[in-house]
Structure 1
Amino acid sequence: MSFEIFKQQFGEVTEYIIQDSVTGNRCVILPELGGIVRQLSLRKGLTLFSVLKTPPTPQTLKDDSKSASELLFPFASRIPEGKYKFLGQEYQLAKNESGTTNAIHGLVRKQKFNLEEQLVNADHASLKLSFSLKDLEGYPFDVKFSVMYQLFADGRFVLTYEAVNNGIEPCPVMFGWHPYFYLGNEDVEAWKINIPSDQIVTFDDNMIPTGTEPFAYDQPMLLHRKELDNCFIIKSTANTAVTELISDNKHVTLKVEQEIGEGKFNYLVLYTPPARDCVAIEPLTANVNGFNNGEGLNILASANSISGTITVSLS
């Protein structure tokens, strides 16, 4: 078999590597640090591109406050003042966004995940991780959250999440992934982007949604001198939607495909950091502040589950 899974030390934590020895495609996963993907390398022709930007050392990764590659659950983005109301009851989350009074990006960041399964097959290999949430501050529910990472021989990297309500009461759930992507040594100014949307979410000064407005840029859109920190409502006639990050100079396109439809990834956040060296492409299952506005929010009854898939590839 060309696929293998092996582990090695990364500072004080253990990382797992899924690798295809034929293509060189590989992903590096850290179960003990929020279950994140630390590296993702995919081949296009003769070039093996490292496409995920994350802090380079164990300590900078632990200290990272920008959520590089993090799994955002049971909510993503901001909840103002950390307050939300669910089924008539008010809840208070920790206010953990730097410089604000917001709660941000969920409760599983940097937590130690359990390794549930690792499989090696002829055409792909996979790793499944899980984390159980039970009676946490501001989220007194019993939910098992899991993520499966798969790397295929055709170059697809697939992330599939699942949430199962193990409690006796309904619970609100939202999931998002927060990867920063880049293409070689170019910066944002050199790229174009295809955004599968014609509606953008409007924000107030606290980055909380106030409504929507048309998004009418021609696609693909040049990123030169454009700053993005926006949420988009996905538009597609299929059951998936694709965001494309395009480098004409390197003749490569990075594709982030998100499953859409009822309960799936119907929102997308795009962000260009000040360094202009990467783009955050963040599929979300609900709108920013979904715990309060209910837009896209999944409500799980006891013993019910929800899942969804994100696929990354190069062309």
Structure 2
Amino acid sequence: MMLSGYYFCNEPNIHIPTPEKMSFEIFKQQFGDLTELVIQEASTGNRCVVVPELGGIVRQLSLRKGITLFSLLKTPPTPDSLVADTKSASELLFPFASRIPDGKYKFLGKEYQLAKNETGNLNAIHGLVRKQQFTLGEQIIEADHASIKLSYDLNELEGYPFAVKFSVLYTLHADGRFVLSYEAVNDGAEPAPIMFGWHPYFLLGNEQVDAWKINIPSGEIVDFDNNQIPVGKKPFLVDRPTKLYQKAFDNCFIVDSATNSAVTELISENQDITLRIKQETGEGKFNYLVVYTPPARDCVAIEPLTANVNAFNSGEGLNVLAQGKSIDGAITLSLI
């Protein structure tokens, strides 16, 4: 195995093609006390930067369109602020996403109590793998893509007494696509409730949100109570795409899923750039979507989810894994 001209992570399970075909590299770098993994494509500069010891998050994602390399994710700018972040920037949300009121849920006739970790201690929010140390698995470098696999095992955690192996695969393709794929495997003896989501805040250059349009692939919005817990559904009737100027979103949508995927578009006409967030849909896949515009209005959170908010209680979209069974799904980002 020849590695001439490239520095690869000194870890097992690396597969690479012959050197003359390599345009990708995978390497380590320091971000303060944090150790990051970088997938980079030489000819375009496309890259993603992953932090295994902070819940496996993608801290940076840069994709090129034409002569411009766009940095697409807003995350805290320093190591300390990243560690201290409470806004879940780019975090993986598993085995549940969004809120569970009072941290209480009932599953198969039994009641469970999760830690109430939302600001104000009213609810459990965004799962149990945030800020956790993930394990680096296989690294793959091929002529047309490179990927890193990270994993975290959940074993008899507070409020979630199930054994589930969770993994995420980050892949950068030569055609400019970035793909986040996840898999969950029930490694225990009892059925386990499963929900997954991703929580990125997206940027398009230095523009503010009010300069953009968004195309949300949904005709139905979840109706929330004052605690942001679903109480029903109602039609979502807006232009497609719709201007974000003076509009504020903090909503969950049931996505249109007539095919096996749905695409949200974030559009900057001034820069002639569109970010496409494609989520797999269909049975067990990403059939829900949260859109949130933070008060600073310098980014938009677009969060594909496999189930509705509070699905651990309502069952809406919830995947229930029997012993030895698995579930997976993918989210794909690209620029046009």
Q: TM-score, normalised by structure 2?
A: 0.93
Q: What letter matches 2:105 in structure 1?
A: Y
Query: What is residue 290 of structure 2 aligned with on the other side?
Result: 269
What is the root-mean-square deviation of aligned Cα atoms in Å? 0.5
Q: What letter matches 2:100 in structure 1?
A: I
Q: What letter matches 2:290 in structure 1?
A: V
Query: What is residue 243 of structure 2 aligned with on the other side?
Result: 222
1:12 deviates by 1.1
Query: What is residue 79 of structure 2 aligned with on the other side?
Result: 58
1:100 deviates by 4.0
Q: 1:228-267 alignment to 2 at 5 Å?
A: 228-267=249-288
Pick aligned residue for 1:96 from 117, 120, 125: 117
Query: What is residue 293 of structure 1 aligned with on the other side?
Result: 314
* Structure 2 gap ranges (5+): 1-21
Query: What is residue 95 of structure 2 aligned with on the other side?
Result: 74
C-alpha distance in 1 between matches for 2:188 and 2:257: 35
Q: Secondary structure at the match of 1:32?
A: helix
1:13 deviates by 1.5
Q: 1:64-213 alignment to 2 at 5 Å?
A: 64-213=85-234
Q: Secondary structure at the match of 1:168?
A: coil
Larger mean Cα displacement after TM superposition, 86-95 or 99-108: 99-108
C-alpha distance in 2 between matches for 1:166 and 1:236: 30
1:196 deviates by 0.3
Q: Runs (4+) of structure 1 moved beyond 4 Å? A: none
User: Percentage identity across aligned positions?
Assistant: 73
Q: What letter matches 1:192 in structure 2?
A: K
Query: What is residue 25 of structure 2 aligned with on the other side?
Result: 4
Over residues 98-123 of structure 1, what are the superposed CA-to-partner deviations in whole Å (9 max), with x where a residue is unaligned?
A: 02410000000000000011111100
Over residues 146-177 of structure 1, what are the superposed CA-to-partner deviations in whole Å (9 max), with x where a residue is unaligned?
A: 00000000000000000000000000000000
Q: 1:27-66 alignment to 2 at 5 Å?
A: 27-66=48-87
Pick aligned residue for 1:284 from 305, 327, 330: 305
C-alpha distance in 2 between matches for 1:302 and 1:12: 39
Q: What letter matches 1:54 in structure 2?
A: T
Q: Secondary structure at the match of 1:37?
A: strand
Structure of greater Rg: 2
Q: Is the 8 A contact 2:257 2:282 kept in 1?
A: no
Q: Is the 8 A contact 2:55 2:92 kept in 1?
A: yes
Q: Secondary structure at the match of 2:210?
A: helix
Q: What letter matches 1:210 in structure 2?
A: V
Q: What letter matches 2:187 in structure 1?
A: N
Q: Secondary structure at the match of 1:291?
A: helix
1:311 aligns with 2:332: yes
Over residues 26-68 of structure 1, what are the superposed CA-to-partner deviations in whole Å (9 max), with x where a residue is unaligned?
A: 0000001100000000001110000000001111000000000
Q: What letter matches 1:176 in structure 2?
A: G
1:236 deviates by 3.0
C-alpha distance in 2 between matches for 1:66 and 1:167: 31
Q: Secondary structure at the match of 2:54?
A: coil
C-alpha distance in 2 between matches for 1:122 and 1:129: 21
C-alpha distance in 2 between matches for 1:148 and 1:81: 32
C-alpha distance in 1 between matches for 2:78 and 2:165: 30
Larger mean Cα displacement after TM superposition, 88-97 or 233-242: 233-242
* Structure 1 gap ranges (5+): none
1:90 deviates by 0.2
Over residues 4-31 of structure 1, what are the superposed CA-to-partner deviations in whole Å (9 max), with x where a residue is unaligned?
A: 0000111112100000000110000000
Q: What letter matches 1:313 in structure 2?
A: S
Q: What letter matches 1:262 in structure 2?
A: E
C-alpha distance in 1 between matches for 2:121 and 2:186: 31
C-alpha distance in 2 between matches for 1:66 and 1:277: 14
Q: Secondary structure at the match of 2:277?
A: strand
Q: Is the 8 A contact 2:28 2:37 kept in 1?
A: yes
C-alpha distance in 1 between matches for 2:188 and 2:323: 6
Over residues 123-166 of structure 1, what are the superposed CA-to-partner deviations in whole Å (9 max), with x where a residue is unaligned?
A: 00000000000000000000000000000000000000000000
Q: What letter matches 1:39 in structure 2?
A: Q
